[in-house]
Every structure is written in C-alpha cells, then in structure tokens.
Structure 1
Amino acid sequence: MTQPRVLYTDPPWLIDGGRPDPALASVEREVLGPEVELRFGPHRDGRYQITDPAMLEQAAGCDVLVVYRTQVTEELLDAAGAGLKVVVRQGVGVDNLNAGLLAARGLPAYNVPDYCVDEVATHTSALALALERQLVPQHQTLAGGTFDIYAGGTPHRTNRRTLGIVGFGRIGRAVARRLGAFYGRVRVYDPYIGRDLAEGYGAQAVDTLAELLAQSDLVTLHCPLNPETDGLIDAAALRRMKPGSFLVNAARGRLIDPEALYRALDEQWIAGAGLDVFSPENPHQDARWHPVLKHPGVVVTSHRAFLSEEAEASSRRRVAELVRAALDGRTEGLVGRVHAPEAGR
C-alpha cells in the first residue's frame, strides 16, 4: 500500500531558527501517525515561498493539501494529481481555497470556521477601545517625555455612542456581546440574517449598509471576502460615515480601499481606523498603504487577531483530525465543510 502523503504548504508554527523543523510537527504526528508522510512547502530567507515552482514539486502525489496563505490554483491541483482527496484550509477564511475551482474538480474542501472567535472578538474590542481612548497618541506623547492628558484629543463617553457591526456571523455576534457592553446602542447590518437575530444580542438590525454607516460612531467589519464585499468600504461608503467616527477591520484587507481610507483620514471624514488586515497581507508591499500606516489616527497590527497559544493548538489538532478523517474516508458530517463534490463525481 502506498504511503499517504500530506503537504502543509506554509505552516508558520513549524518554524524554528528561520527554517521549517519537522520535529515541531508533534500534534500532526500524534494525530496522523507515523505511516503518513508529512511534507512542507518551500522556504527561503525566512519566508515560505507560496508561489515558488518548488511548491508544485512538493505537491506531487499528495493525498491531502493543507493550505494556510497559499492560493489554491489549477497548477497546484494538477501537481498533486488524481490521487488528491481533499483540500483543507488552516484557518477561518475561504477566499484562497478557490471554491469554484474545487467544485469543478469535484474535490471537497474544509476549513476551521470557529477556532478563534474569542481571539478575534477580543482583538477587535482592543483596537476599538484604543481608538476611543486614544491610547496610541497618549503612549507616544508620555513615552516621548511630555505629560499631556489632551494628547490625541478629548474622548467621548462610549455609552452615548453607537457601535455598528457589518456582518453578524460567529465573530460579529461575539463582538456585539463584548464590545457592545461599552456602547449605548448597537446596530447590525447583515443581509443574510433575520432581523430578530440581532435583538437576541442586544442589537438592532438595519436594512442597508448606508444606514448603518450614517448612524454609527464606530464601525467594525466582520464579513467574508467575496465579489459582493470586495472593496465594500470605498470612498462613497466612507463619505457616509459620521465625522469623528472610527473604522475597525480585523476581517479581510480587501474589504477596504486603502486610497479612499487615507483620503477619509487626511480630510477628516472620519477620526481614525484600527486595522489588523491588509491586501497584500504585508502592507509594506503595497505603496497605497504607506500613508495609512503613518497616519496618527491609525492603530495597526500584523494580522494577528486570530492568534493565541490556545487557538493555534486547537487549529492544528482540528486540521490534523480532518486530514486523518479524509485519509480514512470518514468525511461525512464533519464540521467545516466548505464544498462537497456533486453526487456521482
């Protein structure tokens, strides 16, 4: 019997001293067993090379592909070959899974949709409250040698302000419970939920994004990236926001137009932004983000809202269990199914 092969394309938690160390794959080994051949994507100069031709060589003959940041492409699937059973995303988002391509190939795909709800809701709340209380300019001013209680401006009472949540899935609901406790009103926009659902979380649903933007003092984004939401927060949307309001994004970078955001900040359409996500992932690789990063009204983090020791451990184990189930042919009813092949394929 041929030894099963699994390729982890770019798992950063298996990096030690700047290079992948297979010995760190203890969770994966425990779940998958010694009979499974574990492969890792190409790595050079401290980074995984997710578009390198060597990735295709590593994928050859694999039964399962586990992708993190790597984009699923025709070339990658062709390289794996006819024996490929399943593709698993080591994370919540599905935009790099290329669901349409997988559907056309009749390949099932899975993600881990709920492993970091606590972390992202907490991080979103931290960004929001840092903006509301102007923690960054306060820190910079005091650490720089000046004691000034007014550095960054005079805040407002949050219990007189309105929180607006765009997207009311698992994380949006957790944010309503946590961050909503600080605000006098919570508004929700999500065209795919019933209006009464928001009421159960102490919020009120509105009918349009424009309505939510016009009413909210702080807007936080929790929607997936798809053709409908790509560039959702553009210049027109930012113009609808209240003067003095804040925008927080810990969902997907492409939800926001960076040039429009900088203009909104520079011309004071809004007061500030808290950002954990960008497109490309590293904003230093796109000059459009540079003025945003330098703006004094912005708080930024390096796409780590999902991160904790517990979340990472859970994600690794749950993905390994999905892989083991796929190798054993036990995928019916598993949590996290993104796409199932059509009957008879």
Structure 2
Amino acid sequence: MRVVYTDPAWALDARGRPDPSRADLERGILGPEVSVEFGPFESGTDPGPADGAQVGPSADGGFVTCGDQLFEAARGADALVIYRCQVTSELVEALRPSCRVVARSGVGFDNLRPDLLATAGIYGFNVPDYCGDEVSTHTVALLLGLERQICVQDRLVRDNRWGIHRGGIPRRTAERTVGIVGFGRIGRASARKLQPFYHRVLAHDPYVAADLMASHGVAPVPSLRELFARSDAVVIHAALTPETDGLVGAAALGAAGPGSLLVNTARGRLVDTKAVLDALDTGQLAGFASDVFAPEDPNASPTARKLLARNDVIVSSHRAFLSAESELSLRRRIAAGVRAVLVDDAPPPEGRLA
C-alpha cells in the first residue's frame, strides 16, 4: 500500500528539499506493508491552487504542489497526507478509486474539504488537539508583548534610544477584561492561561453552551460586537469556515473601545487587515499581533506590509503550533490514523470528517 505525503515541512533538508530518510517514524508506525512517498514540493513556494490552477513560485513561505505532478503522484495512492496542500475536485478525481483516507497534518480542516472527500467515500481527518499548549502560550505571549510594549522597547534600546517612558506607558492588566473569539480546545486553554493576568475573561462562541463557559470561569457574550465593546483586548481562536471568513472586520472593530488590543493566532482570513490598519490609524486599536495572514507571508500583501512598518504591531510566521513535542506528536497521530484505516480496516481514531 502507498501513502503519499504531499508537503511535509518536517521532511525538508538543509537545502529545502524533501529527504525520504526523515520519514523513519512514519515507516515504523505504518509497518512494512505500507510504503511512504513524498509528493512534488519544495520550500519557499505556494501550496494552494484553486481547482484546475497551476501553482508556481511565490514568496509566501509555504510549499509547492504543482497540479499535474501532484495528480500523477496521487494516482494509485491508498492514503494521502496533506499539510497546506489544498484538496480540490481534480485531486479527489485523481485519488479515485484507490484512496481510502486523506489526513490533514494540523488543527484546521479548511483545506481538507471533507465535502469533496465525502463524494468519493474517502475518510478525512485532522488532529485538532496536538498543539493546544503551544498555540495558547503563543497567544498569551503576543498579547503580553503588546500590553507591556516589549517589542517596541527592544527596538528602541537596540537603536540606542534607551528610555523608560519611550514607547508608551503600559496599563495594569489586572484591572482589564480580555475577550476570546471561539471557545474550542485552544480557546479554553488560552482562557486558563489568561485568567491569572486579567480581571475578567469573556468569550463569544455561538456553538458552545454558556454553562460550559461558566465551568471554565469565563462569562459568555452573545454577539461579536458586544465582545469587542466589553473587552480591553481580544484574542481569536475561531475555525476558518465560510461563516467566519472575514469575521473580524470594520463592524466588529468599530465596536471596540479606544486603545483596544487584538491578537490572531487562528487563521489569517478571519481578520480584515485593511480594517485593522484603519483601526490602528484612528486609535480604535492600540496594538495588533498576528501569527497568521492571508497570504501567509504578510510581505506579499501591500496592506499587510503597512502593518509591518508599525511599532504597535507584532508578527510571527505561522508557528504558534510549533514545538519539538507537538511536531512529533502530530506525526505519530497522523501515521496511526492512516494505519487504522489501511491496515486495521477501522475509522481513524481522531474522528471521521468525511
């Protein structure tokens, strides 16, 4: 049986090329009856075509999976493991009829397209909880960096502009309220870590019961606008779906009190960067921190590049999930889920999406 990994970041060598020898963990879990192959990809290029599109080099820091080459590699595969590669109708067609499972190496499933997989009777699964500690810690780090103006002070001192009061005077977080958009696994982990720093934690999630929020010591808020209106800082942990695409835009930010802070460690497309830029210009927002953008590298977007020039913005390169432990855990659980389907003839243990 064949398992094709389309774009595994952990498999890249020092030159940014896939090294088959790095899949020893996967081969050990999948067993001798399963071969592990890598699809056509390399570092520094864009992973995600629309249906029928060819993918070429870009500066977004992702991975390339070129249309016809990918389809050829996928044909006859019993399983496909994707990272940033997009599942498209053409890819699903190439996978028929041999493929039994497609796994997404990550928390989100926006590029997994379970609706398309379901049409072909293919299992689909992600791993929604492998990096909750890492992402929640990264979220708190970004928010506290904004609160204490750490990055501004760092730049000033390095620029020989030492000064206690330069960069602004921080506020006392113990007297402030923080709001959370999305109260799933990671939102709950962030709530626990934020509670020692903030006076009050609120959350908005129409799919989570108020009683569950209360059990975590968090007060539910019925609307996104009310959450922004009542919070001094907001962190985003919502999933990217058609419903949440562009969720945080001018309307939500317009409800925020002057001097609010915003942190996004979920998905870039949840936030309208133009609206953020406008809110920073007017003082509605006093700071913005983000681990994610659309496109991935904010340097590839004229609007996002304007954010990068500002002292009230902190960014990182979509690595909130990353640690040595989380990466190994994800690899093990993906391989175990694929083995369950191919070898044990069972649904993937992480749950069936398609």
TM-score class, shorter-chain normalisation, is over 0.9
Residue by residue, what CA displacement relative to the aligned partner does 1:206-260 show, whole Å, maximum 9, x if unpaired?
A: 1111111001011001110111111011111111111111000000110001111
SS at match of 2:240: coil
Q: 1:342: which partner in 2?
A: none
Identity, % of aligned positions: 51
Aligned structure 1 segments of 4 or more residues deviating by more than 4 angstroms: 44-47
Cα separation, 1, equivalents of 2:242 and 2:120: 21
Q: 1:343: which partner in 2?
A: none
TM superposition shift of 1:268: 1.6
TM superposition shift of 1:305: 0.3
Residue by residue, what CA displacement relative to the aligned partner does 1:165-202 show, whole Å, maximum 9, x if unpaired?
A: 01101111111100121000111111111112112212
TM superposition shift of 1:144: 1.1
**Higher mean C-alpha displacement, 190-199 vs 298-307:** 190-199
**Higher mean C-alpha displacement, 109-118 vs 288-297:** 288-297
Q: 1:16: which partner in 2?
A: 13
Cα separation, 1, equivalents of 2:163 and 2:304: 30
TM superposition shift of 1:35: 2.9
TM superposition shift of 1:333: 6.9
8 Å contact from structure 2 (residues 337, 348) kept in 1: no
Cα separation, 1, equivalents of 2:24 and 2:226: 50
Q: Does 1:173 align with 2:206?
A: no
Structure 2 CA distance for partners of 1:197 and 1:46, relative to 1, 3 Å? closer
Q: 1:58: which partner in 2?
A: 73
Residue by residue, what CA displacement relative to the aligned partner does 1:129-148 show, whole Å, maximum 9, x if unpaired?
A: 00000001100011111221
Counting only pairs closer than 5 Å after superposition, residues 23-172 of structure 1 correspond to structure 2 as: 23-44=21-42, 47=45, 48-172=63-187
**Higher mean C-alpha displacement, 141-150 vs 83-92:** 141-150
| Residues matched between the structures, number | 336
Q: 2:328: which partner in 1?
A: 313
SS at match of 1:149: coil
Q: Does 1:238 align with 2:253?
A: yes
TM superposition shift of 1:45: 6.3
Structure 2 CA distance for partners of 1:45 and 1:104, relative to 1, 3 Å? closer
Counting only pairs closer than 5 Å after superposition, residues 177-188 of structure 1 correspond to structure 2 as: 177-188=192-203
Q: TM-score, normalised by structure 2?
A: 0.92
2:25 is matched by which residue type in structure 1? V
Counting only pairs closer than 5 Å after superposition, residues 188-227 of structure 1 correspond to structure 2 as: 188-227=203-242
2:173 is matched by which residue type in structure 1? T
Structure 2 CA distance for partners of 1:46 and 1:235, relative to 1, 3 Å? closer
Residue by residue, what CA displacement relative to the aligned partner does 1:256-275 show, whole Å, maximum 9, x if unpaired?
A: 01111111112221101110
8 Å contact from structure 1 (residues 51, 70) kept in 2: no
2:238 is matched by which residue type in structure 1? C
8 Å contact from structure 1 (residues 120, 306) kept in 2: yes
TM superposition shift of 1:330: 3.4
Unaligned runs of 5+ in 1: 340-345
Cα separation, 2, equivalents of 1:276 and 1:211: 25
Structure 2 CA distance for partners of 1:108 and 1:45, relative to 1, 3 Å? closer
1:43 is matched by which residue type in structure 2? F
Q: 1:5: which partner in 2?
A: 2
2:28 is matched by which residue type in structure 1? E
8 Å contact from structure 1 (residues 113, 336) kept in 2: no
8 Å contact from structure 1 (residues 232, 256) kept in 2: yes
Q: TM-score, normalised by structure 1?
A: 0.94
1:196 is matched by which residue type in structure 2? D
Cα separation, 2, equivalents of 1:66 and 1:281: 20
Cα separation, 1, equivalents of 2:205 and 2:324: 31
8 Å contact from structure 1 (residues 88, 323) kept in 2: yes
Cα separation, 1, equivalents of 2:176 and 2:43: 47
Structure 2 CA distance for partners of 1:206 and 1:297, relative to 1, 3 Å? same
**Higher mean C-alpha displacement, 284-293 vs 315-324:** 284-293
8 Å contact from structure 2 (residues 40, 66) kept in 1: no
Cα separation, 1, equivalents of 2:66 and 2:209: 41
Cα separation, 2, equivalents of 1:145 and 1:66: 49
Structure 2 CA distance for partners of 1:13 and 1:182, relative to 1, 3 Å? same
State the Cα RMSD in Å: 1.3
8 Å contact from structure 2 (residues 6, 41) kept in 1: no
TM superposition shift of 1:44: 4.2
SS at match of 1:281: coil
Cα separation, 2, equivalents of 1:46 and 1:155: 38
Cα separation, 2, equivalents of 1:66 and 1:9: 6
Structure 2 CA distance for partners of 1:227 and 1:185, relative to 1, 3 Å? same
